Structure 1
């Protein structure tokens, strides 16, 4: 992401308050083309009762969404971009980017919908022009574009004039409808009269775009003097006022005209009016104002989206013009999209598509607020107090449910579309330069899971490897973190640890540098691991410190992975260290790889070719030399976990044992087969009959193995050298061995 992110740029001088910047554009967009040209059809087919339910359902969803919108808007400094800005700063760059495209498209297509509605009304009023539908619509689109291109300030002033016309038109309708009240029509129109396969949900889909204007004010967020106050107050007031208008209209339309006329006469509101010219002017004014509102909102969404540089190809549209930072380049693109829709679409076809796009936007806005609330993030402190996680969840479920009830095919396509955008943005690994709630969601899940894990009774069958790997800086003994990754990937956890010899007061900066080195190594090698660095005078003190302090609750390390001494001079200190680990009841894994003994020449260098070498999967079997359950259970589980990695699946596990005579071979082999069956681990049992020393048998039988697992016991004090020499003799020239001393705690059955 560029440093030119939208939230780091000035949005220009603030100009508009609640009434001018939020209430007026919201009201004019809500009381638009659907009210004048399609609401009569909704009432005629649905009936008064169902029409009221449709209005209430639509208003319930938009009210719940506005509560969520208000909570987020009062919890952060809102800048340009409206819903895109709010969602991206909460749910993250992936959802934000997907919504940016979707919401911009919905707003741009809405311009076409409103202009088509205007043109229908114009053609009804002036039939002689009906043959020039596309030409008229294109001209209106051009005029709308020019108005917005000049600037938002001039457009807002035009909307005051339009609001006055709209009020006069509604007054004319109410006067005429009340005068024509007929109880017969009221009785007939209480119930539904659906035609041509229509139903409640198709009527809801037709009506819902009428209430999507709740975002008109939020889309102007960059031009508001006080967005956190103006957006909640202005939007909720617009919802309340327009709800009263629609509910009263549903009743009066059903009382004043028969169902057939309501269904077939798109200008029934004009015919009811006592001043038809006022309705004509109102239709023209409402559709134009809605088109103006969408034409103003869509470019501002695209401008904010482009400035975040989620897609570098769109950065061209992030530029602003003049002191008020007008998004003129984005306005040109909005005009072009609207023009294409005017040429290709019609009002009834466009409305359901816009419904889906707005529903997804509203659903994600509710979801963002829901997650903000349930994660209990200390930074979530909205001054708007009337939003709760239950209302946000209800809004999310309502949006999703209505999408599928209206049209499951379009709903599925829309969700797949936004899912594909989310995946594409995520796959590009774009880093957002703003905080979002994803880390808060993860933290809350982890917190609750840790607390639950702490109270759950532990059972050995649930044992997982939680490994602390002592590997220096990573690349000096790179086989240790790599094999630790293979043993824990997808099943356990690994901490990559390093002990710095010295005092913390003298080596604080060095400690931070080593931790950064480990983080870089983990990131470069794509390990699933956490870094841990400690400063102690002695290595043993450092290991003890790491053992006692690392992890939390049930996620404390249960296994330590470290390297086998390179020579006898280090055997005594090594024995003391593993004795300390054993006293702390941790299992011990120590790796003896002949190949790493030439790696010290690369220690501290930037050449990590030895790392690449250790990522190569060796050919051969995974040999487990069985000497009993004491260490055998852990060795079997480790072999199984290693074999579960995709690269190791072609390396079969051999369960091996030595017997001294042929008579015992079949019985021991049967025992090994039963071990594999009872542990549900696929093994190849192999019994070797020999009286030769164990070192010779192991060297010969496992000469072609990819890795060999041998058990050992931590030595008593003074027995360190004896252990070292015995295990070295057993290992011989085998290139890769894993010595295992189990502390127990796991079960094969």
Structure 2
């Protein structure tokens, strides 16, 4: 993992704000585009539009820098820059997609800067133009060697390059002021676009010039104090380079006509008082930008590889030496840059990099936006100048400009990142770090619960919120499995268990049973929540669970429990039923002959027996109708069970026993009316018989997959009588659920 302490740099080799953030950011921003293409941007766009382009680009990068600063000051930033920050906020899928995208963007940027260097060299020494490919390859190799040696040496080289760049800019300003021409100013205020060009194509050409704001963040693993250095150094670089570009836009338009600005890529050199300083500046800026990207890209890949999102990339996670240099990743960066050098050119590469950086910036803003609006208690950035509004505007700006520049490229880029996101999600990679997805879900749930609490409850909105007294899951697997089928896609299921004894003495056992339930839920892939209570008596535990489990409108309205296996437990079962009824919960008692345990608390049930209960039995779902009191709930449960894909072949039958033919027509008509108003399809069967009802039920439903029978809560002292009467009704039917409805639902809705 990227967070391993053994991979951290020693304090003596880490960098501060100026060397580790401001310098690489400034040198990357004031690079090849400024020297070789900004004149074209000003010439075609005109001074006014060029200033707007600079301001728009700087606004987006400033908003993104605010977001970057907030996240960077909220967490311990390790190697990987934007990848690390986004993955730890938006999760492994977005983080993985950004890891691939941002590494590619940085690696391709190396090629862009080297091509720019070669172009400047060829303009200065025309005889070298025929060897451009060889020169670019040589420069790529030199850049690779510098970075391969180590970041410390490269940072020192950048101090020297920064001094050359400052001298070059001074030479340009002196020459531009001396060549000030009011006529050029007047004519260059308005655009002079070439055919096929417009403001957005110029923006696309210019925007890579301001993407260097991540150069410091990419060095996050090499900084002594990332949470302070990244905000200070990046914002300082944004302000300084913003002043440079705005002043250049004005001075270029005042010093040369539009035709020369457009046609001469080295116009800045021609304006300067000391042209050789510009040449040195171009060489220095392009090489420093290439060095910055060559340093940043491998560190992104190294952090990405260490997170093992793609195990095939694990090879690139290794570091070398005390400073943990990502040398394997540096070799791959060199190879990608070389491929782009062979096949690319500056104008073709710039828009691609623009799209990649825009997506990265957009998702960074999205991460900060979500961190803020979800009010995650862990989101406590020391940087106080970021707000969810600035993050939202930054995100909208990034994605909006993408489509304004080139809708096709924007769509392809988003589809590409979407495909990576889907691929990682399909692999079900488990993040080994916290992210804000749980915070987003929590905030949505919180608001939904509060809104649900304010809504006026109506019986038509009834859903099964079932608490299943399931033991540890393995002891009575038919109960959680049928609970899952009854609630799947429609309600909420909790698997509950009561540990008897004092909480202080049984806390370890309570935790053990909760782990067992979680294990059962995960293994059987049941949509459920565990609920374990500790109480001196089982009845007290059940009472606590029923009263306290759940929150707001999501409290259990139905309790599913097992039917007692013999008469000796009838009294305690009846007492439990009365207790549940007093809390106004519906009761479902599952009587399955195939699972009458010798000991209800045993855990000897095997995986094989659990699998057997997942097998849907053949036959109809039979509802024995005796009126609306229990009938509504029984019919609704049969319908919900039938809605499961596994149960679609099991049709629902509503059955009634009468003693004479005259009542049959009236009952059928009544049930047809119920079916129409309830919009539930079922078959009505009226059995005419003067035989005892239990005998009729046994004969009619002997091949049913499940039988639903209604019952009433017994009065005190009537527990045994209730047990005998229901046992008589159920007889040898293999699967019966007894239903005592507490109401709260309606079929006619």
* TM-score range for the pair, normalised by the shorter chain length: over 0.9
**What is the alpha-carbon distance in structure 2 between the residues aligned to residue 600 and residue 541 of structure 1?**
21
Residue 477 of structure 1: CA displacement? 0.9
**What is the alpha-carbon distance in structure 2 between the residues aligned to residue 454 and residue 9 of structure 1?**
51
Q: Cα RMSD (Å) of the superposition?
A: 1.7
* Counterpart for residue 247 of structure 2: 248
* Counterpart for residue 3 of structure 2: 6
Q: Report if aligned partners of 1:360, 1:399 keep a CA contact under 8 Å in 2.
A: yes
Please say if 1:329 is aligned against 2:351: no
Deviations, residues 83-123 of structure 1 (Å, cap 9, x unaligned): 11111222222222221111111111110111111111112
Q: Report if aligned partners of 2:23, 2:162 keep a CA contact under 8 Å in 1.
A: yes
In the superposition, the TM-score normalised over structure 2's length comes to: 0.97
**What is the alpha-carbon distance in structure 1 between the residues aligned to residue 257 and residue 639 of structure 2?**
76
Structure 1 residues 46, 691: CA separation in 2 closer, same or farther (over 3 Å shift)? farther
**What is the alpha-carbon distance in structure 2 between the residues aligned to residue 248 and residue 138 of structure 1?**
34
User: What SS does structure 1 have at the residue aligned with 2:596?
Assistant: helix
Q: Is there any run of 5+ residues in structure 1 with no aligned partner, and where?
A: none
**What is the alpha-carbon distance in structure 2 between the residues aligned to residue 439 and residue 121 of structure 1?**
51
Q: Mapping of 1:659-698 within 5 angstroms? A: 659-698=658-697
Structure 1 residues 609, 168: CA separation in 2 closer, same or farther (over 3 Å shift)? same
Q: Report if aligned partners of 1:591, 1:736 keep a CA contact under 8 Å in 2.
A: yes
Deviations, residues 186-229 of structure 1 (Å, cap 9, x unaligned): 22222222233222222211111110000001111111121111
User: What SS does structure 2 have at the residue aligned with 1:16?
Assistant: coil
Deviations, residues 466-522 of structure 1 (Å, cap 9, x unaligned): 111001111111010011111112221111111122222332211111111111111
**What is the alpha-carbon distance in structure 1 between the residues aligned to residue 205 and residue 6 of structure 2?**
39
* Counterpart for residue 407 of structure 1: 406
Q: Report if aligned partners of 2:2, 2:79 keep a CA contact under 8 Å in 1.
A: no
**What is the alpha-carbon distance in structure 2 between the residues aligned to residue 525 and residue 346 of structure 1?**
56
Please say if 1:189 is aligned against 2:188: yes
Residue 599 of structure 1: CA displacement? 7.8
**What is the alpha-carbon distance in structure 1 between the residues aligned to residue 129 and residue 484 of structure 2?**
72
Residue 557 of structure 1: CA displacement? 0.9
* Counterpart for residue 374 of structure 1: 373
**What is the alpha-carbon distance in structure 2 between the residues aligned to residue 173 and residue 358 of structure 1?**
29
Q: Mapping of 1:211-222 within 5 angstroms? A: 211-222=210-221
Deviations, residues 378-410 of structure 1 (Å, cap 9, x unaligned): 222111110111111111121111122222222
* Counterpart for residue 259 of structure 1: 258
Q: Mapping of 1:204-283 within 5 angstroms? A: 204-283=203-282
**What is the alpha-carbon distance in structure 2 between the residues aligned to residue 377 and residue 659 of structure 1?**
63
**What is the alpha-carbon distance in structure 1 between the residues aligned to residue 188 and residue 31 of structure 2?**
24
Q: Report if aligned partners of 1:5, 1:309 keep a CA contact under 8 Å in 2.
A: no
Residue 21 of structure 1: CA displacement? 0.9
Residue 138 of structure 1: CA displacement? 0.7
Q: Report if aligned partners of 1:44, 1:259 keep a CA contact under 8 Å in 2.
A: yes
Residue 27 of structure 1: CA displacement? 0.5
Q: Report if aligned partners of 1:465, 1:492 keep a CA contact under 8 Å in 2.
A: yes
Higher mean displacement: 404-413 or 99-108? 404-413
Higher mean displacement: 191-200 or 481-490? 191-200
**What is the alpha-carbon distance in structure 2 between the residues aligned to residue 260 and residue 637 of structure 1?**
79
* Counterpart for residue 452 of structure 1: 451
**What is the alpha-carbon distance in structure 1 between the residues aligned to residue 129 and residue 203 of structure 2?**
29
Deviations, residues 557-609 of structure 1 (Å, cap 9, x unaligned): 11100011111111121111101100110000111111112685994237221
Q: Mapping of 1:101-250 within 5 angstroms? A: 101-250=100-249
Please say if 1:569 is aligned against 2:576: no
Residue 537 of structure 1: CA displacement? 2.5
* Counterpart for residue 733 of structure 2: 734
Q: Report if aligned partners of 1:6, 1:308 keep a CA contact under 8 Å in 2.
A: no
User: What SS does structure 2 have at the residue aligned with 1:313?
Assistant: helix
Q: Report if aligned partners of 1:599, 1:610 keep a CA contact under 8 Å in 2.
A: no
Deviations, residues 235-284 of structure 1 (Å, cap 9, x unaligned): 00100011111111111222222223222222222222222222221111
Q: Report if aligned partners of 1:47, 1:192 keep a CA contact under 8 Å in 2.
A: yes
Residue 69 of structure 1: CA displacement? 0.8
Q: Mapping of 1:431-580 within 5 angstroms? A: 431-580=430-579
Structure 1 residues 381, 602: CA separation in 2 closer, same or farther (over 3 Å shift)? closer
**What is the alpha-carbon distance in structure 2 between the residues aligned to residue 347 and residue 510 of structure 1?**
67
* Counterpart for residue 57 of structure 1: 56
Structure 1 residues 548, 327: CA separation in 2 closer, same or farther (over 3 Å shift)? same
Structure 1 residues 433, 126: CA separation in 2 closer, same or farther (over 3 Å shift)? same
* Counterpart for residue 339 of structure 1: 338
Higher mean displacement: 7-16 or 57-66? 7-16
